[in-house]
A and B are shown apart, each in its own frame.
Chain A
Amino acid sequence: MLELLSYDFMQRSLAAAMLVGAVCSAIGVFVVLRGLAFVGAGTAHAAFAGVALAYLMGWPPLAVAIVFGLATVWITGLMEEQGRMKLDVSIGILYTATMALAILFLGLMKTYNAEVYGYLFGSVLSVTAEELRIIAALGFCVMGALLIFSKELYFIAFDQEMAEASGVPARRIFYLLLTLVAVTVVVSLKTVGAILVFAMVLIPASTAYQLTHSLAQMTTLSVVIGTLCAAGGVLLSSVWDLPSGPAIVLLATAVFFLSVLFSPKRLNRSQA
């Protein structure tokens, strides 16, 4: 295994996976607490539609994916505020519509393009040095924003109306969170793929949720779990020659089920 680590590609993919794991699991805390899980899943598919369109037209994939991702989260945010339709319904529609777009764009391509499918299923082992730099740059931006606005983000996750009533610019912070979700999804697309990216956002945070009663601890635990699962998944996938995305996600899922089994909350509930 140590021998594997001496390869450039292996170091790159480990670094990419750990970065993505850290960013996804950090933002995941706010996504889980604010109840935006479904929003993220929709965004991932929209971003993939963006990638497909980019390949079809010969545009830069990440840029188009960001545009698609941002459009989806902002539309979703507006729909939630308007409250005219139940959020799960409106996101369900957006989600399937963007997926249909993606399939349409793929169908319009004259030839089979393996690279596009890399964005769907994830291919961390083929991350290039330049892609790693982009992941790192965007990842640090997201982490920086999360740190700077952490107190407001926690507050709106706990109670957005109360946050607004006590003088926090809650609406702007909510849109900031949606924006960060979109950027995170796009950053992670190449590594874990559109289908699995949301697992990386949800699972570490939900695992941490099971284990603690404190916001600060939940965040720390989530990031540790996310980063370790990402690294572990990459190592497993290269040792046993498994696809990397599923290896990371299934490892995280296993940890999640362990946390549910040993959750102090579950023990409390059975006492009550």
Chain B
Amino acid sequence: MAHPIIRFSHATFGFHGVAALEDITLDIAEGEFVGVIGPNGSGKTTLCRAILGLMPPFSGSLKIFDCSCEELHCHHRARIGYLPQKESLDRNFPITVLEAVMMGRYGALGLFKRPSKQDREIALQALENVGMQDHSKTALGHLSGGQQQRVFIARALAQQPQVLLLDEPTTGIDITTQYSVLDLVQRLHRDLGLTVLLVTHDINMIRKRVNRLALLKTRLYAAGPPEEVLRPDILREVYGKDLVITEKDLIIVEDYHHHHH
């Protein structure tokens, strides 16, 4: 295994004393593409917040870039490009695509430094990487959901990150766009050599694309290559009766609740 860039060691996380993730032990190697799956409320978003250093563990430890996450400084955070779960954007918020992508540079630049021409080049390059270079002056609110998602991925890329952390990148966009967003992530993983963590409830979408899957439901139930994790006995333990396995081995997890919050 290559050098681990993120190391959970018996780490427990939560809010107000209630554990959202318990006793997680998991190493993620540099350059890996890991899919994080699990039902709703299984702690997937908590995992993202923990990796960003926004949530120190109650017990155990989490190290990122060999730096304990409680001490994660701002410049470390800038090395993790993050795509938060899509919220409905105020379509009238006055911001252009380039202005939004430039924000990816701000954390890395630090206080008191003004963005230079070089930062602008980096932002434009990031837009090109996601195929949105022709929209740099467009109002963000005028784009479709899938295009906005690309712009936010470009913002994450503008941080020139080592790790790309994507929380449900395909939720709330139409099915063809979902595939093209995932193709994009796969390409970025390959071409830019990024370590990618992709959180999703949609197992079918990513099972053929990732190196490893991590199956969460408060605890880490399994982590390994997809064929090892996606076994009926393991899945049934996590999903219970919500699990339907068809003859062609296609796994459908009925996730009704997802659309309601």
Using a CB–CB cutoff of 8 Å, the interface residues on chain A facing chain B are 33, 148-149, 151-152, 154-155, 158-159, 161-169, 208-209, 212-218, 265, 268
Contact = CB atoms under 8 A, between A and B. Distances in A.
Interface in B69-86: 74-78, 80-82, 84
Interface of B: 52, 54, 74-78, 80-82, 84, 92-96, 99-100, 103-104, 106-109, 111-112, 114-115, 139-142, 159
Given A163-B106, A213-B142, 19 more contacts: A149-B111, A151-B114, A151-B115, A158-B93, A162-B82, A165-B52, A165-B54, A165-B82, A166-B78, A166-B81, A166-B104, A166-B159, A167-B74, A209-B92, A209-B94, A213-B141, A215-B95, A215-B99, A217-B94
Contact of B107 (A168, A208, A213, A214): A168
Given A151-B115, A152-B106, A166-B106, A213 B74 contact: no
A163 B94 contact: no
Nearest to A221: B94
Residue among A158, A164, A165, A209 facing the most chain B CB atoms (10 A cut-off):
A165
Tell me what chain A mostly uses at the interface: helix, strand, loop, or mixed: helix
A94 to B, nearest CB: 25
Contacts of A268: 142
Given A148-B112, A213-B139, A166 B95 contact: no
A158 B103 contact: yes
A163 B103 contact: yes
Given A162-B84, A167-B74, A152 B111 contact: yes
A215 B94 CA distance: 6
Max chain A C-beta neighbours (<10 A), residue from B77, B94, B108, B114: B94
Nearest to B156: A166
Contacts of B82: 162, 165-166
B122 to A, nearest CB: 14
Contacts of A166: 77-78, 81-82, 103-104, 106-108, 159
Nearest to A161: B84
Contact of B100 (A148, A158, A218): A158
Contacts of A162: 82, 84, 103
Contacts of B81: 166
Which of B103, B106, B109, B112 has the most C-beta atoms of chain A within 10 angstroms of its own C-beta? B103
12 contacts: A155-B106, A165-B80, A166-B81, A166-B106, A167-B78, A168-B107, A213-B95, A213-B140, A214-B94, A214-B95, A214-B96, A215-B99
Contacts of B78: 166-167
B92 A265 contact: yes
Contacts of B75: 167
A216 B102 CA distance: 12
Nearest to A218: B94
B107 A167 contact: yes
Contact of B95 (A151, A158, A165, A168): A158
A169 B74 contact: yes
Given A152-B111, A213-B142, A165 B77 contact: yes
Contact of A151 (B52, B96, B106): B106
